[in-house]
Amino acid sequence: MTSTLTRSGLPVLDADPFSPEVLADPLSFQEQLREAGPVVVLAKYGVYALGRYAEVKSALTDWQSFESGAGVGLTNFRTEKPWRPPSLLLEADPPHHDAPRSVLAKILGPRQIAQLREAWEADAADLVDTLLARARGGVLEFDGVAELSGAYPLRVFPDAVGIASEGRENLLPYGDMAFNAFGPHNALVERDADRVESLSLWVNAHCARDALTGTGFGAQIWEAADRGDITHEQAPLIVRSLLTAGVDTTVNGIGAFLHAVATHPDAWARLRREPELIRGAFDETVRVESPVQSFFRTATRDVEIGGTIIPEGAKLVLFLGSANHDPRRWEDPHIFSLDRDPSGHVGYGFGIHQCVGQHVARAEAAAVLGALARRVKSIELAGSPVRHLNNTLRSWKSLPLRMALA
Helix (H, G, I), strand (E, B) or coil at 315: strand
C-beta of 290 vs 308, nearer to ligand OW7: 290
Cα separation of 122 and 363, whole Å? Answer: 12
* CA nearest neighbour of 280 among 289, 271, 272: 271
Cα separation of 251 and 71, whole Å? Answer: 24
**Based on C-alpha coordinates, what's the Rg of the chain?**
21
* Helices and strands in the chain, H and E counts: 18, 14
C-beta of 76 vs 398, nearer to ligand OW7: 76
Strand partners, 386: 398
C-beta of 103 vs 245, nearer to ligand OW7: 245
C-beta of 264 vs 359, nearer to ligand OW7: 359
Strand partners, 388: 395
Cβ atoms 309, 10 nearer than 8 A: no
Cβ atoms 357, 245 nearer than 8 A: yes
Give least dist CB 358 to ligand OW7, A: 10
C-beta of 108 vs 303, nearer to ligand OW7: 108
Which residues of this protein are in contact with ligand OW7, per CB under 6 A? 87, 89-90, 178, 240-241, 244-245, 249, 292, 355
C-beta of 140 vs 238, nearer to ligand OW7: 238
Give least dist CB 206 to ligand OW7, A: 14
C-beta of 38 vs 173, nearer to ligand OW7: 173
The side-by-side arrangement of strands in the sheet containing 3-5 is 3-5, 11-13, 40-42, 47-50, 315-319, 294-299, 66-67
C-beta of 73 vs 216, nearer to ligand OW7: 73
Give least dist CB 376 to ligand OW7, A: 29
Cβ atoms 33, 21 nearer than 8 A: no
Give least dist CB 181 to ligand OW7, A: 9
* CA nearest neighbour of 183 among 21, 391, 395, 20: 391
First to last CA, the chain: 49
Give least dist CB 107 to ligand OW7, A: 14
* CA nearest neighbour of 368 among 147, 122, 117, 124: 124
Give least dist CB 263 to ligand OW7, A: 25
Give least dist CB 248 to ligand OW7, A: 9
> If 0-12 CB within 10 Å is exposed, 13-18 middle and 19+ buried, where does residue 326 land?
buried
Give least dist CB 351 to ligand OW7, A: 14
